Structure 1
Amino acid sequence: MKTLKYIFLLLFVTSCGTVVNYDYEKSTDFTQYKTYNYFDDMQTGLSQLDNKRIMKAIDAKLSAMGLIRSDNPDFFIDIQSQDVMNRNNSNVGVGVGGGGRGGFGGVSVGLPLGGNQSTREIVIDFVDKSQNEKLFWQAVSESSYSPNASPEKREATFAKLVEKIFSGYPPK
């Protein structure tokens, strides 16, 4: 029984994490990119305040990586996001069976665990405008979030998310 508890705890902890997928143009020389800026007409899908929070987190991370925000950048950043409602399909099956004198029978019931979970998908694109708006790096993240979180919690969430997203930049 103890083992079953640990398995459920492990599944719960791993299911709440952020998933990040990366893609990039293999022929790109990432060392040539030293300056960046954001597209002026970004439609991020975030509130104005959350937009400022994620841009602040990105600026801090890229600055720590030695990149500089510039009015004449080497590349532009585009941010897009959407809220996704995931249905929770996790359940526990409880079964009762019996048999005797040539017959077998059984009843099984699925009990749902938890409820629906809100997740946010955020896509960050790095685009080289000097090469005909060539997309050279992209990160797609999906993570759970609370739409009623405090401003401090939202800022911390974006900081953690950006840290995880940029752990894959530049590609090795």
Structure 2
Amino acid sequence: MKHLKFLFVLFFMTSCGSTVHYDYEKSTNFNNYKSYNYFDNMKTGLSELDTKRLIRAMDAKLKNMGLSKSENPEFFIDIQSQDIHSRNNSNVGIGVGGGGGRVGGGVSIGIPVGQRNNNREIMIDFVDKSNGERLFWQAIAESSYNPNATPEIRAAQFEKIVEKVFSKYPPEQ
């Protein structure tokens, strides 16, 4: 039973859930936006192959939402990302205690278990270029990833992220 609890805690801590934060311009009428395209020369911070995987996942999701990709779009999409490497939380602690007329002491050393977590933050901006490059919607997703994952796993991870990112688009006003 003790091992089962340990495995549950380990699984919970290493699960690859993602967190998404949203922001938008309150005065925006999202019904006015039906077509999109991506900014030329985007510097996504992803590899070229991962950029293609993310764009494919976004195109499929946006198409399912009734938006179409166009050469003369109503808004443009910008994608940026950065890797966030978490640090190991190992530490050293010294303590002194007593009770019942006895005094004791101890030293504690934290030993990192496992490897560093690799997290990636992906920022997706919707920009109305016809209105002075006005940012009207933004999503920032943070999720863990394995840099050695297979192409199929990477594509599936991007699909999950995109699904979660666009679950709140358009925002309820």
**Pairwise TM-score range, normalised by the shorter structure:** 0.7 to 0.9
Please say if residues 33 and 74 of structure 2, whose CA atoms lie closer than 8 Å, have aligned partners that are also in contact.
Answer: yes
Question: Any residues of structure 2 matched to 1:1-172 within 5 Å, and which?
Answer: 5=6, 8-9=9-10, 11-12=12-13, 16-89=16-89, 99-172=99-172
SS in 2 for 1:166: helix
Q: 2-side partners of 1:22 and 1:90: how far apart?
A: 33
Q: 2-side partners of 1:8 and 1:97: how far apart?
A: 30
Cα distance per residue 1:31-54 (max 9 Å; x no partner) = 110000000121111111111111
Q: Percent same amino acid at aligned positions?
A: 63
Please say if residues 37 and 69 of structure 1, whose CA atoms lie closer than 8 Å, have aligned partners that are also in contact.
Answer: yes
Gaps of 5+ in 1: none
Gaps of 5+ in 2: none
From the superposition, tell whether residues 105 and 96 of structure 1 become closer, same or farther in structure 2 (CA, over 3 Å): closer
Q: Calculate the TM-score normalised by the size of structure 2.
A: 0.85
State the 1:75 CA deviation. Answer: 0.3
Cα distance per residue 1:138-172 (max 9 Å; x no partner) = 01111111111111111111111110111121111
State the 1:113 CA deviation. Answer: 3.3
Q: 2-side partners of 1:144 and 1:68: how far apart?
A: 30
Q: 1-side partners of 2:119 and 2:9: how far apart?
A: 21
Q: Calculate the TM-score normalised by the size of structure 1.
A: 0.86
Q: 1-side partners of 2:147 and 2:6: how far apart?
A: 30
Please say if residues 83 and 119 of structure 1, whose CA atoms lie closer than 8 Å, have aligned partners that are also in contact.
Answer: yes
State the 1:96 CA deviation. Answer: 10
- Aligned pairs, number: 169
SS in 2 for 1:112: coil
State the 1:120 CA deviation. Answer: 1.0
Please say if residues 88 and 114 of structure 1, whose CA atoms lie closer than 8 Å, have aligned partners that are also in contact.
Answer: no
> Quick one: which amino acid aligns to residue 153 of structure 1?
I
